[in-house]
Structure 1
Amino acid sequence: MFRLEGEAPLDSRARETPFTCFPLEPIALFNPFKRRTFLQAVVAVAATTTFGCSDDETSLTSDGSPYFPQSLASGDPRPDSVVLWVRVEDTARAGEDLPLRLDVSTTEDFSSLVVDKLEVTALAAHDHALKVKVTRLSPRTTYYYRFTYEQGGQKHTTRVGRTRTAPAAGDDVPVKFAFASCQDFIGRYYNAWQRLVQLGEDLDFVVFLGDYVYETTGDTSFQSSGGGRSVRFSEPQGALAQGTGVTAFLAANTLSNYRDLYKTVRSDRQLQAAHERYPFIITWDDHEFSDDCWRDVATYEDGKRDETQLERKHNAEQAFLEFIPLDTAQTSEGVVNVDSEPRFPSTRIFRDFEYGRHLKLLVTDYRSYRPDHLIPEDAYPGAVALDAAVLATLPAPAQQAFSGDTFAYVNIDDPAYVQHKQVLQGVYLSQAKAAGLTDAEAAQKVGTWVKGPLALFYVNQVFKAAGFGALEIPTTGAPRGMAYVHMGKSALFNIQGSRYVVVKDTFDVFAAVKYGATAGESENVFGPEQETWFNQTMTTATNTWKMVVSSTSLSALIWDLRAKTDIYDPTLRQRFYFSVDQWDGFPTKKKVMLNTLKAKGVTNTLFLSGDIHASFASVEEGVPTLTAPAITSGSIKSLAGLALLGAGYAPGAPVYQYAVTNMEKTLQDSNPGLRFADADSHGFVVVEVKADETLATFHLIPAGEVSKDYSKRDGSELESKFTARTFRVKNSDIQPV
């Protein structure tokens, strides 16, 4: 998702400009992790072990065994197969491979076995996590499964898991599933998973859209504090240290670090219960590797330094493949060899599923192949991105839009501006070193950026703020061009105006020009292989519905403040994209993709997405899209509220009212295709796929409830906190029921 931060504005006007700073959330507080004492472990084992059983005995307890601390799970169900997952933990044999036994049955009491005492081995090299692909199953059938570990002559058994295969191709049956995303563990509780299990829906599967884990131990810019829930690394010395002082945190780096994330998250009983009840179909987003990543590149440094991290990327993928029940190795049957599953840049987690006559489900990968964000985080605000020659190629209305003095620029390398350039370079070096760059790094950056065409709108502000007002350059007769400052970039090395809060109209022009100049490579989200698979699968599918899983939202999130005359600063009265880390950041590709599907006659397309921590139902370019709220991660409204308060805006300020208090109304007024918006709730969506329509029900709980643990309360109390909103998807539209 995102981190919010900022830098000091150039002058006082920046307190109410599109370039205001975003604050940090309070730092997370952690309670030390307390392992079981030896006596507690003995008691637990005694309570959950079957003593003296023969192989035919199946005495079980509902609590499972302490040798299986993450319980068990299933995933990627197909008509004849499913992937089963488990992890066994025996500290006395930590370095040994551990033998397990798998039973699969069509009955919960295991009286009708289809897999009987299959001997498998959980490898120490994979942290004793194990995936088994069970094949030759019957379509649309519920199966029960369990793993058994024998130690010291005693058998220790998991809880009983339940899974279900997909219907056969062509079967005329309805399909029901849930989808969800973003389950930050720190300081938050999985009440949404508890509610899903409580509902007892007869689901075929659950789709998880990414951010299954968060790679940080308390990034104060977006993670909560308190609540008694924390993430600690068993090998902190291998992690990446980020931030300083009270804002310091660690980010996963080593394989051990990433494994710790999954082990911690899957220790939650509510999430375990959901996995035990339903098979999951899972993709990743950014936090499984690194916040706002692209390919194998992180963004913590916001452009200060190169963050290409291939080894770290491979560690993240290794842990994901060990702990998530999917099979990218295309195993014929039996144990999935995680070591044979491909890694970046050959990763392939995009895949599709067929659920009878009515559903083709495409699971896409938004992160592994996509290019960098179009606006570099280290972009010099004054640098001209599109000069006069490029603007002259645009249609006449666009040329007219850039004719004002705001877009005037000069070539700072002209001999007439020697002193001007020296001042700009001096200010840049000072700001760069204040941001943490070394002298050598700052010198390299200044040579890259402070040269050539520079926007007078920006550099004249620099001269004035630095006490060199006499150096201000007149705009008369100067050529016109678009600089990064015109897209919202006002400071060095930050996310504002690069990944978040970007001026829509100028950004769209910039994106379109780059798209044309690079033959689409600047917005090539899927990469060649995935693009081919996507187009072929969508255009050849004969299923009634073609549903596309995208980890990031396709709903356009635009704040249109052009007519808000109570905002005194005219530079704020523009249209802004809230986030260009999602599909709004690739506007040309998004439009081409959706219009191509329509042109090729693909009907009943529906996109399912997440990431943005809010609930949306919208129609984009005539194609319906649904965005799930976060399971726990901070809502978009709460983050925006903290941001504006930290930037100096009181709750009564017009900007605060439009962007936070009335965020849903502002978004709906600004986005004609937006049918529903809830920016401050958590939950999940249940989808019912029928022959003539699809129903989608948002199950929502207020943001304030996510820090409360309802697992120890009466179930009716949790039920009372949830509300449901149902929408009908039909004839390329979405409407409330």
Structure 2
Amino acid sequence: MFDRFKRRSFLQAVVAVAATTAFGCNDDETSSDAGEKYFPQSVCSGDPRPDSVVLWVRAVDPDNAGANTQVRLEVSTSESFSSLVLDQTFTAQAAFDHALKVKVTNLSARTTYYYRFSIDAGGQKHSTVTGRTRTAPAPTDTVPVKFVFASCQDYIGRYYNAWQHLLQLDEDLDFVVFLGDYIYETTGDASFQSVDGRGVIFSEPEKALRQGTGLTAFYAANSLSNYRDLYKNLRKDKVIQRVHERYPFIVTWDDHEFSDDCWGDVATYTDEKTNEKQTERRRNAEQAFFEYIPMEHGESAAGAIDINAVVSQPTRIYRDFEFGQNLKLLVTDTRTYRPDHLIPEDAYPGKVAVPAEQLALVLPTLPEPVQAQLQSDMFAYVDIDAAELRLYKDLLTGVYVQQAVAAGLTAEEAATKAATWITGGQALLYVNQVLNAVNQARVAAGEDAIPAIPVDGTPRGLAFAHMGKTGLFGIQGSRYVVVKPIFDLYAAIKYMGSAGASEGIFGNEQQAWLQESVSQATNAWKIIVSSISLTTMVFKLSDKADVPDPTLRQDFYFNVDQWDGFPTKKQEFLKSLRDSNVQNALFISGDIHASFASVESGIPALTAPAISSGSIKELAGLAVIGAGFSTGSTVYRYIVAELDKSLKEAHPGMEFVDGDAHGFVVLEVGASEAKASFHLIPSTEIAKDYSLRQPSELTEKFTRRDFVIKDGTITAA
């Protein structure tokens, strides 16, 4: 009998050997240990088309790590490699971290191919494990297409039990769509990552961005070597290696491949206390992505893909695929071209964003009760630059500088920002709250109180405070927890005033490509791949009389970094699909770490849960407690404890929601209907390594929910 330690060591050895011999034997002269030494990230494939596929390996000779490596690639229709369709040598260049991507062409449609890479070192041949891939059906084929879509695989302190379960199922898949957040750029951000268990240590930490202080300090990737470390570390995981060895991947990126909640080359770590435009960092992130992800780039020629040529061109990862008559897959990029969040993180709560003259233009189009509300005292504001209000402007400026310095700005930086924000229209809702706090201190000090500014005769407008912004710098009221009706109105006004640029999530070129591709597609299904979720997430607290604070009795968007932050563009695009009579349009997405099946303005949408990243319920709980609400409060109950129920109550088109499970979705599309299966494991299991347990233990933890998508509807199967 094994003791506990020896049994664990034995199982680890068994798992390692099993992982390296997943699909067949290598040459007799090849050692699996040596293969892992020279190919530590194993192999993978991607972007399958009827006549081509991209194959990937990282080949390095540790005894000569600075030199290029000559690599032989063999491709065959037989697992024994008895007949080769390709046998060619390529160079894995040290300049690209010895990553090699080869586009193999002249292949047969919907055919399984086996492949392996090898090098000669020390007079001996060393090979990778045998990888397996599959090409797409021919354009005329009418076969069903079956694939998995998944997202968000944080490595820090978590395990890939979802991927392991996919391997257990042994699904006959055409491919896997990965929807973004393939890596996470931070090494232990306690606000959402575990600080226990496995982690990542940068080889060059001095080149990383140090975030936080003391025990909560962590690093964020910055240099090319930092980003490469993240991919190299993650792809040493045996479970994800086996998934890549088995299925071709189609990958898009979201934010964490560069930086959390980014837009273009702009990060958001400091919530706009500082300028976070980081062009070089973005370029580093993209290069590592292009090195490690098995994808083609535009009209790539056969052979080794020149990474240098890819990174020197304008960024483009949006692309489309056809899988016979049944599927057109349109892979979008919702990070590279998007504008800043509509509400800046450093927006001053009192600043009027929609003045009276702009509000007057839209008021007649709104229902009378809404018109009356928008003309109430709650929306009164004054021009703080008026001479008679000089005392109040000085007071607001002084408070701003004090708070900004406390937040980490220098006095000079704080004064500059104060001059930018405390000017023009200022909402009395906020101004008089600040004044009230100042007066309390004055009275306590024996000084006279300063009179509040009266609302009589003042204009009405929308300020950032009306949208939920309460502090100088932060995500509340900017990227998260935003008052829905006011935000929607503000977004619509900005959209009209900017000719749509304020919500230009796709950019002009991608937008034109997407519209044309969808409208011209003749395939039975047109599936749009979006890294961010299309499903609306609203907490409808406006009718909850037991919420004690009246300012919280409103309807809130939970997250406007996703499609809810582009409400006008979203409705415009969905309307274009309906007006163009696009049949069987379907969105698939990830990002939000929750499972959704919903119909959005007539268009079905499916959102996959995270593979391993913290569930939305976990993150919402941290946020609500951090905002000062106890676990026994009504706010905690509606937003956390009853999260699924609350979201479904606020969304009549929501067929299914699970905000606390991890997993993936299997989707099969036929000529007239699609079948989706959510495979889910509780969040409590994600920090446990099931690769060292009996397979049945993991199987028992999973549940399955099945749905049928047909004629624009989603129904439980």
Counterpart AA for 2:645: K
**What's the Cα RMSD here?**
1.8
1:419 to 388, 391, 402: 391
Preserved contact between residue 328 and residue 342 of structure 1 (Cα < 8 Å)? no
1:241 to 198, 210, 228: 210
Distance in structure 2 (CA, Å) of the matches to 1:528 and 1:623: 23
1:275 corresponds to: 244
Give the match's secondary structure for 2:638: helix
Query: Quick check: 1:98 aligned with 2:69?
Result: yes
Counterpart AA for 1:401: Q
Give the match's secondary structure for 2:95: helix
Instruction: Call closer, same or farther: CA 1:675–1:61 in 2, change over 3 Å.
Output: farther
Distance in structure 2 (CA, Å) of the matches to 1:276 and 1:674: 36
**Cα deviation, residue 512, structure 1:** 0.1
- 1:447-458 matches, within 5 Å, as 447-458=419-430
Preserved contact between residue 287 and residue 311 of structure 2 (Cα < 8 Å)? no
**Cα deviation, residue 325, structure 1:** 0.3
Gaps of 5+ in 1: 1-40, 50-55
Query: Quick check: 1:158 aligned with 2:138?
Result: no
Distance in structure 2 (CA, Å) of the matches to 1:251 and 1:62: 34
Preserved contact between residue 30 and residue 125 of structure 2 (Cα < 8 Å)? no
1:405 corresponds to: 377
**Cα deviation, residue 332, structure 1:** 1.5
1:24 corresponds to: none
Preserved contact between residue 637 and residue 660 of structure 1 (Cα < 8 Å)? yes
Instruction: Call closer, same or farther: CA 1:395–1:456 in 2, change over 3 Å.
Output: closer
Distance in structure 2 (CA, Å) of the matches to 1:531 and 1:256: 33
Counterpart AA for 2:105: T
Preserved contact between residue 329 and residue 337 of structure 1 (Cα < 8 Å)? no
Preserved contact between residue 289 and residue 317 of structure 1 (Cα < 8 Å)? yes
1:661 corresponds to: 641
**Cα deviation, residue 59, structure 1:** 5.7
Deviations 1:84-113 (A, max 9, x none): 000023221111001110100101111121
Counterpart AA for 2:45: S
Query: Quick check: 1:372 aligned with 2:340?
Result: yes
**Cα deviation, residue 478, structure 1:** 1.6
1:327 corresponds to: 296
Instruction: Call closer, same or farther: CA 1:557–1:159 in 2, change over 3 Å.
Output: same
2:453 corresponds to: 473
Counterpart AA for 1:481: G
- 1:182-581 matches, within 5 Å, as 182-226=152-196, 228-342=197-311, 346-396=314-364, 397=367, 398-467=370-439, 469-581=449-561
Distance in structure 1 (CA, Å) of the matches to 2:627 and 2:420: 30
**Cα deviation, residue 650, structure 1:** 2.3
1:593 to 567, 573, 595: 573
Give the match's secondary structure for 2:338: coil
**Cα deviation, residue 645, structure 1:** 2.3
**Cα deviation, residue 651, structure 1:** 2.1
Counterpart AA for 2:84: L
Give the match's secondary structure for 2:282: helix
Q: Aligned residues: percent identity?
A: 61
Distance in structure 1 (CA, Å) of the matches to 2:581 and 2:568: 20
Distance in structure 2 (CA, Å) of the matches to 1:158 and 1:295: 37
Give the match's secondary structure for 2:680: strand
2:10 corresponds to: none
1:109 to 80, 85, 90: 80
- 1:1-80 matches, within 5 Å, as 64-80=35-51
**Cα deviation, residue 246, structure 1:** 2.1
2:146 to 160, 176, 182: 176
Distance in structure 2 (CA, Å) of the matches to 1:264 and 1:662: 37
Preserved contact between residue 29 and residue 125 of structure 2 (Cα < 8 Å)? no
**Cα deviation, residue 61, structure 1:** 6.2
Counterpart AA for 2:275: D
Distance in structure 2 (CA, Å) of the matches to 1:58 and 1:546: 47
2:616 corresponds to: 636
Give the match's secondary structure for 1:440: helix
1:611 corresponds to: 591
Distance in structure 2 (CA, Å) of the matches to 1:57 and 1:292: 47
2:94 to 120, 124, 143: 124
Preserved contact between residue 392 and residue 399 of structure 1 (Cα < 8 Å)? no
Deviations 1:561-614 (A, max 9, x none): 111001121111111000000000000000000100110111100000000000
1:704 corresponds to: 684
- Normalising by structure 1, what TM-score? 0.91
1:6 corresponds to: none
Instruction: Call closer, same or farther: CA 1:141–1:61 in 2, change over 3 Å.
Output: farther
**Cα deviation, residue 470, structure 1:** 2.4
Distance in structure 2 (CA, Å) of the matches to 1:194 and 1:437: 47
Distance in structure 1 (CA, Å) of the matches to 2:662 and 2:119: 38
**Cα deviation, residue 60, structure 1:** 5.5
**Cα deviation, residue 409, structure 1:** 0.7
Counterpart AA for 1:180: A
Counterpart AA for 1:73: C
1:735 corresponds to: 715
Preserved contact between residue 191 and residue 711 of structure 1 (Cα < 8 Å)? yes
**Cα deviation, residue 534, structure 1:** 0.2
Preserved contact between residue 132 and residue 334 of structure 1 (Cα < 8 Å)? yes
Deviations 1:181-226 (A, max 9, x none): 0000000000001000110000000000000000011111111121
**Cα deviation, residue 62, structure 1:** 6.4
- 1:621-632 matches, within 5 Å, as 621-632=601-612
Q: Between Structure 1 and Structure 2, how many residues are aligned?
A: 686
Distance in structure 2 (CA, Å) of the matches to 1:48 and 1:269: 8
Higher alpha-carbon deviation: 323-332 or 528-537: 323-332
Preserved contact between residue 549 and residue 609 of structure 1 (Cα < 8 Å)? yes
**Cα deviation, residue 58, structure 1:** 5.8
1:142 corresponds to: 112
Gaps of 5+ in 2: 1-12, 443-448
Give the match's secondary structure for 2:635: helix
**Cα deviation, residue 388, structure 1:** 1.0
Give the match's secondary structure for 2:581: coil
Preserved contact between residue 429 and residue 442 of structure 1 (Cα < 8 Å)? yes
Deviations 1:159-194 (A, max 9, x none): 100000000002010000000000000000000010
Distance in structure 1 (CA, Å) of the matches to 2:43 and 2:363: 59
Counterpart AA for 2:335: R
- Normalising by structure 2, what TM-score? 0.94
Distance in structure 1 (CA, Å) of the matches to 2:507 and 2:138: 31
2:656 to 676, 693, 701: 676
Preserved contact between residue 181 and residue 629 of structure 1 (Cα < 8 Å)? yes
Distance in structure 2 (CA, Å) of the matches to 1:370 and 1:275: 30
